[in-house]
Amino acid sequence: MVITSNLKMRTAKAVSLTYSGSKVQSLYISPDSEEILRANLECTKDFLDSIESYGCKRGRSAFEDRSACLLYRSVSCEIVLQFLDRFQSSKANSRFSTGMIKDYISGLSKFGELSAWSVAVMSSKSGTLLDLGNGRSTFMVDRSFVKMAKSEVDPTAKHLKTVTAPRDEMIDLDDLLAHLNARNTDDLFEKTPGLSDVSYRLKTRPKERGLVLLYPINPNIELTEADHMALSSEPSQTVILKAVAPVIGVAFVFPETQNSKSKYKYLVNKTI
Query: Torsions phi, psi of 16, nearest 5?
Result: -100, 135
Q: What is the pLDDT along the chain (272 residues), one digit of tens a residue?
A: 344 334 443 445 556 678 999 999 999 999 999 999 999 999 999 999 999 999 999 999 999 999 999 999 999 999 999 999 999 999 999 999 999 999 999 999 999 999 999 999 999 999 999 999 999 999 999 999 999 999 999 999 999 999 999 999 999 999 999 999 999 999 999 999 999 999 999 999 999 999 999 999 999 988 888 988 888 888 899 999 999 999 999 999 999 998 866 666 554 554 43
pLDDT digits (tens, 9 = 90+) for 50-103: 999 999 999 999 999 999 999 999 999 999 999 999 999 999 999 999 999 999
pLDDT digits (tens, 9 = 90+) for 20-45: 999 999 999 999 999 999 999 999 99
Burial class (CB in 10 A: 0-12, 13-18, 19+), 43: middle
The C-alpha atoms of residue 152 and residue 234 are separated, in whole angstroms, by 25
- Please tell me the predicted confidence (pLDDT) of residue 223: 87
Q: E-strand spans in the chain?
A: 13-18, 23-25, 28-29, 70-76, 116-121, 129-133, 136-139, 144-146, 158-159, 211-217, 238-240, 247-253, 263-268
List the Cα angle 244/157/270 in 5-degree steps: 170
- Please tell me the predicted confidence (pLDDT) of residue 228: 84
The C-alpha atoms of residue 23 and residue 252 are separated, in whole angstroms, by 6
The dihedral through the CA atoms of 272, 39, 126, 183 has a sign that is negative
Query: In whole angstroms, how far apart are CA 2 and each of 35, 120, 194, 233, 272?
Result: 25, 33, 43, 39, 11
The C-alpha atoms of residue 200 and residue 166 are separated, in whole angstroms, by 13
**In terms of Cα–Cα distance, which of 49, 29, 65, 41 is closest to 174?**
65
The C-alpha atoms of residue 130 and residue 80 are separated, in whole angstroms, by 22
Query: How many CA atoms are closer than 13 Å to the CA of 252, on its beta-carbon side?
Result: 27
The C-alpha atoms of residue 133 and residue 121 are separated, in whole angstroms, by 13
H helix runs in 172-238, sequence order? 185-191, 197-203, 225-232
- Please tell me the predicted confidence (pLDDT) of residue 265: 59
- Please tell me the predicted confidence (pLDDT) of residue 3: 42
- Please tell me the predicted confidence (pLDDT) of residue 2: 40
Full-model pTM:
0.91
Q: Cβ(170)–Cβ(211) under 8 Å?
A: no
- Please tell me the predicted confidence (pLDDT) of residue 260: 67
For 218-250, letters b (16+ CB in 10 Å) and e give: bbbeeeeeeeeeebeeeeeebbebbbbbbbbbb
- Please tell me the predicted confidence (pLDDT) of residue 10: 47
